[in-house]
Homo-oligomer: A and B are copies of this chain.
Amino acid sequence: MTESIGRQARAAAAPTTVITAVSPSMGPESIESHYDEALAVPGVLAEIAAGESAGAAAADRADGYVIACFGDPGLDAARELAAGPVVGIAEAAMHTATLLGRGFSVVTTLSRTVGHTWELTRRYGFERACRGVYACEIPVLDLDDPSPETVRVLTEACREAVAKDRCDSVVLGCAGMAPLGPALSQEIGVQVIDGVTAAVKLAESLVALGLRTGKQGEYAAPRPKKYSGLLSEFTI
- Contact between chains at A29 and B229 (CB < 8 Å): no
Is there a chain B Cβ closer than 8 Å to A208's Cβ? yes
Is there a chain B Cβ closer than 8 Å to A137's Cβ? no
CB contacts under 8 Å to B, within A142-182, are: 166-169
Is there a chain B Cβ closer than 8 Å to A100's Cβ? yes
Give the distance in Å from the alpha carbon of A167 to the alpha carbon of B30 in the complex: 25
Interface residues on A, range: 35 or more
Give the distance in Å from the alpha carbon of A159 to the alpha carbon of B94 in the complex: 31
CB contacts under 8 Å to B, within A39-87, are: 39, 41-43, 45, 74, 76-77, 79-81, 85, 87
Query: Which B residues lie within 8 Å of A229 (CB)?
Result: 24-27, 43
Query: Which B residues lie within 8 Å of A32 (CB)?
Result: 222-223, 225
- Contact between chains at A42 and B42 (CB < 8 Å): yes
Query: Which B residues lie within 8 Å of A236 (CB)?
Result: 35
- Contact between chains at A214 and B168 (CB < 8 Å): yes
Query: Which B residues lie within 8 Å of A24 (CB)?
Result: 229
Residues of A whose CB lies within 8 Å of any CB of B are 12, 14, 24-30, 32-39, 41-43, 45, 74, 76-77, 79-81, 85, 87, 91, 95-96, 98-103, 111-116, 119, 122-129, 139, 166-169, 189-191, 193, 197-198, 201-202, 204-206, 208-209, 211-214, 216-220, 222-223, 225-234, 236
A-B contact pairs, 9 of them (CB 8 A): A29-B228, A34-B218, A35-B80, A43-B231, A99-B211, A102-B219, A168-B219, A189-B216, A201-B208
- Contact between chains at B39 and A42 (CB < 8 Å): yes
Known A33-B77, A79-B34, A112-B220; judge A39-B99 contact (CB<8 A): no
Closest 6 CB pairs of A and B: A26-B229, A168-B214, A125-B125, A201-B205, A34-B76, A101-B214
**A151 CB, nearest partner CB in chain B, Å:** 21
Known A77-B33, A201-B209, A209-B201; judge A39-B101 contact (CB<8 A): no
